Structure 1
Amino acid sequence: MIHTEMSRRRLLGLGVGLGAAASLTLAGCGGGGDDAGPAAGNGGKDYTGPKVDLKLWNGFTGGDGDIFKALVNQFNTEHQNIAVGVATYQWEDYYNKLPGAASTGNGPDIAVMHMDQLATFAARGVITELDDVAKNLELTEGDFAPTVWKGGLYNDKRYGIPLDMHPLGFYYNKSLMQKAGLDPEKPPTTREEYEAALTELKKSGVQGFWVSPFQFTGGMTFYSLLHQWGGSVFDAEAKAATFNSDQAVEAATWLIDMVKLGHSPANVGQDADYLAFKSGKNAFTWNGIWQINDLKKSPDVQWGVAELPQIGSEKAAWANSHNFTIVKGRANDANKVTAAKVFINWLSEHSLDWAKGGQVPARKTVREDAGFKALTEVNALAPELEYAAFPPAAPGLGEVMTTFYNSFNEAALGKKSPKQALDDGVAKANKQLEDNRKKYGS
């Protein structure tokens, strides 16, 4: 797999260590700006002011980066008075770099941000409110999936306009299924079917479901199963960690038992589960939607993708979402802000093209478009949008989620029992949440 794609995935999810945006300060966007008065139009409808140059930061270093840049170029061609320049960083550098750059006037005007980062950057005043964009463009929850739309809120104010949703999906190797006597066109959808399929695969000499102890992708699989069992990482207000509940222990135990039952080797290395899938050694893997385009580059692999099987009592899948944000401008340049909103609205409306990069569009009209339905593999994961388990809108959760994943890691590696590992993790997480309340005043 392409190295940049591997490292990109490590930060698609929960901003490892990035609650450490403790150094966040009141930020300004770079570039100063025209002294001209505010441009006509607002909320993203249009921009008729003098030409402005906008800086846009993102972390799309994989194949989706080329698609994103092509869309920006198209926008620039269609808008002679707005020029958007793109700067791309690895996600793991991006969030650490943004606060300091913004506070010194060297940051962007527009920043692409994962849903789970919005609250932290909003709490520290780095990004600005976008309620007027939703109002003037007449965007409502009905235009998006409710979970994605609500994820852009912090303290009842909107800070992000959702672009997409990227969930965990279920990839299956058709060749190995056929070898084991399974129907390669009917992947398992329930716990009973899943366990029965693993038994048949084992009989054929295949360890069918490799369990990674790392966040990518074992931790994200556990996150999904925790919600499938009816549990959660936090309570409703994200003030207390709850990932040591009976449901959590049961979900973790089921997953770790895959090793004991011989369906997975022990101590699976980082990304080894996915690489084994591509090399025909692993029949089932739970991985992100972003792997679809990578697998398309491997014509020798006969694969399919579907919604995650329902192992617990309800459907659930780990997911995150890219949102557009506007960085607060030290110069309060109204022209730049207005132009930035026009760009955000334009790209949201053109998210069918963005979906080709391996994303489920946030806008309902785009998901219902025949063009999206033609993207067979990506469209196969669109139903997960309705039951996606998104992170809560609370500031400073980066380190807390790292604690969650480290707890699973200890259990998966057999360093502690699932119960002990999760209990210890919750104790540490609750202290971190308490510190966050002091730090962010919430």
Structure 2
Amino acid sequence: MTFPISRRRFGALAGAAVAAAALPSRTLAQAKTLTVLGHRVHQTAATTGPGGDATEAFRKTSGANLNWVTFGDVNAVHERLLREASLAETSIDVAYLVNGRAVPRNLKLFEPLDTLLKDAPIEAFDDFAPGLIGPLKVDGALHGIPVRHATNALIYNEALLEERGINKLPTTFEELVEVARKLTFKREDGTQVHGLAFTAVFASNFLTVSRCLGGDYMTADGKLTANEPPMVKALTILADLYKAGVLPRNFATVNNEEITTWMQQGRAAMTINPFARLVSYNDPAKGKYGGRFKSLLPPMAADLAGKVAFAPTVEFWSLMIPKNAKQKPLAWELIRALSSKAGTTAMALNGNGPTRISTYADEKLKAAMPYAADEAAALKASRIHLPAFDEQARAHDIFIEETQAAVLGRKPPQQAMDDAVARVKPLLG
């Protein structure tokens, strides 16, 4: 699964120094070099931008240098990382791992962190979003520290709502469906406007809809629920919206770049995407609707409102130490620095999705992110799309294949989800 990596741009902010107080007091005697493996945006978020260099205090305190090994492709990062972690020894000291690859067989290639965490604690560990910690455990042992997230929201163009005479945001899922229908129309020049558009290759997008009805492909403990009434009902509604033209005709193939263009041009009124997309949508240089895009946490169905809390879908990266690494104590000190409150805030100002809830209270961050409070609430309640198991990627692809068949009318939703469950069940072992 491709992880959203668009960088938030906070050029108006002044540089923020990274406090050294959260770093270890001792100085490691000998100057060394730590090699960090990740995506290019990870290095940028850690070292460049209005928040300053989040690694500077660590480097001064430890006397260590950092050697960044980065790629522009998520798959390339993990191909290199998992190959290195499988060797007898590796030169990689600290690595970034996306949650879709944080399955048990992979997590076991990385150092259990509980002893390190006990001996040299991370500041205010309970400040991390709870939904980001559980997926990093195998047999009760923690193998990573969450460092960057992208949590889904419903993003809407308030100018189009006004144009269509909608003066009240939906408070139930049923109202949301009706709003999507009202936002679907054809302009006088023949331009078709779709009430809802999102990419159909990510399970997280479909689950943003189904969780409004209490539906999921699987529960957090691994129970298959895709063919139960809530999920089937969600796909039935999406199939109806597709038939009505609320979803675009090329729904199965449209990509995120096209969605961005449609939103900026007013050809789509609502989408399911991470909060961070608001930055590019609201760029006044890229469309006439700059500044008019807002976020909304999708509302629950009327019969569930106030009884069941909505669980936004989230993707996230974590910092790990390969088991075969040679400088584990020093690697841990870097992780402590980057995941401290000061380090998290600095990276957030540089465009990183902060994994600490308290970071969203920072005044500079709130000034740059009008949606900070909404994203903080969403992150706190977030949950990954599928529980971690070794065949998760194959299961994801099966769910998408059968879901698309249901929405596009190739199969009845109940049959599609029955088929999905039958195909995924053997993968659970």
Task: Tell me if both proteins adopt one fold, taking TM over 0.5 as the criterion.
Answer: yes
Higher helix proportion (structure 1 or 2): 1
- 1:335-363 Cα offsets, whole Å, 9 max, x none, are x2111111111111211122235554222
Q: Which amino acid aligns with 1:346?
A: A
- 1:112-170 Cα offsets, whole Å, 9 max, x none, are 112343333555x3211111343231656632232223333221011111224321122
Residue of structure 1 in register with 2:162 after alignment:
178
Residue of structure 1 in register with 2:60 after alignment:
78
Residue of structure 1 in register with 2:414 after alignment:
419
Taking the TM superposition and a 5 Å limit, the aligned residue runs for 1:75-114 are 75=57, 78-79=60-61, 81-89=63-71, 90-104=73-87, 105=89, 108-114=92-98
Taking the TM superposition and a 5 Å limit, the aligned residue runs for 1:94-243 are 94-104=77-87, 105=89, 108-123=92-107, 125-135=108-118, 136-137=120-121, 142-183=126-167, 187-202=169-184, 205=187, 206-215=193-202, 219-238=203-222, 240-243=223-226
Residues 53/348 of structure 1: CA separation in 2 closer, same or farther (3 Å cut) = same
Q: TM-score, normalised by structure 1?
A: 0.78
Residue of structure 2 in register with 1:270 after alignment:
254
Q: Which amino acid aligns with 1:425?
A: A
Residues 196/248 of structure 1: CA separation in 2 closer, same or farther (3 Å cut) = closer
Equivalent residue in structure 1 for 2:273, among 287, 291, 306: 287
Residues 193/307 of structure 1: CA separation in 2 closer, same or farther (3 Å cut) = same
Taking the TM superposition and a 5 Å limit, the aligned residue runs for 1:51-66 are 51-61=31-41, 66=44
Residues 77/88 of structure 1: CA separation in 2 closer, same or farther (3 Å cut) = same
- 1:307-326 Cα offsets, whole Å, 9 max, x none, are 33214334121112221111
Matched, 1:11 2:6: no
- 1:357-400 Cα offsets, whole Å, 9 max, x none, are 55542224323333333322344321112321224243342222
Distance in 2, Cα, partners of 1:85 & 1:158 = 26
Q: Which amino acid aligns with 1:286?
A: I
Equivalent residue in structure 2 for 1:341, among 314, 332, 338: 332
Check conservation: 2:156, 2:296, Cα contact below 8 A: no
Distance in 2, Cα, partners of 1:169 & 1:46 = 42
Q: Which amino acid aligns with 1:292?
A: L
Residues 223/357 of structure 1: CA separation in 2 closer, same or farther (3 Å cut) = farther
Residue of structure 2 in register with 1:383 after alignment:
377
Check conservation: 1:410, 1:421, Cα contact below 8 A: yes
Q: CA deviation at 1:59?
A: 2.2
The answer for unaligned runs of 5 or more in structure 2 is 6-22, 188-192
Distance in 2, Cα, partners of 1:11 & 1:164 = 11
SS at match of 1:170: strand
Check conservation: 1:244, 1:422, Cα contact below 8 A: yes
Residue of structure 2 in register with 1:49 after alignment:
29
Residues 341/77 of structure 1: CA separation in 2 closer, same or farther (3 Å cut) = closer
Equivalent residue in structure 1 for 2:294, among 273, 280, 305: 305
Distance in 1, Cα, partners of 2:198 & 2:398 = 19
Check conservation: 2:29, 2:62, Cα contact below 8 A: no
Distance in 2, Cα, partners of 1:270 & 1:285 = 12
Equivalent residue in structure 2 for 1:370, among 355, 359, 363: 363
SS at match of 1:361: coil
Check conservation: 1:180, 1:204, Cα contact below 8 A: no
Residues 422/46 of structure 1: CA separation in 2 closer, same or farther (3 Å cut) = farther
Distance in 2, Cα, partners of 1:107 & 1:379 = 40
Residue of structure 1 in register with 2:404 after alignment:
409
SS at match of 2:319: strand
Residues 358/383 of structure 1: CA separation in 2 closer, same or farther (3 Å cut) = farther
- 1:191-242 Cα offsets, whole Å, 9 max, x none, are 2432342343235643211254322xxx32211223332233224532x432
Matched, 1:430 2:425: yes
Q: CA deviation at 1:107?
A: 5.3
Distance in 1, Cα, partners of 2:230 & 2:212 = 9
* More displaced 10-residue stretch of structure 1: 242-251 or 290-299: 290-299
Distance in 1, Cα, partners of 2:183 & 2:214 = 29
Residues 242/287 of structure 1: CA separation in 2 closer, same or farther (3 Å cut) = same
Check conservation: 1:252, 1:418, Cα contact below 8 A: yes
Distance in 2, Cα, partners of 1:264 & 1:278 = 17
Q: Which amino acid aligns with 1:242?
A: T
Check conservation: 1:225, 1:311, Cα contact below 8 A: no
Check conservation: 1:229, 1:248, Cα contact below 8 A: yes
Paired-residue identity, %: 21
- 1:33-72 Cα offsets, whole Å, 9 max, x none, are xxxxxxxxxx9665523122111111244xx652234236
SS at match of 1:276: helix
Q: TM-score, normalised by structure 2?
A: 0.80
Residues 66/189 of structure 1: CA separation in 2 closer, same or farther (3 Å cut) = farther
Distance in 2, Cα, partners of 1:347 & 1:141 = 13
Distance in 2, Cα, partners of 1:47 & 1:117 = 34
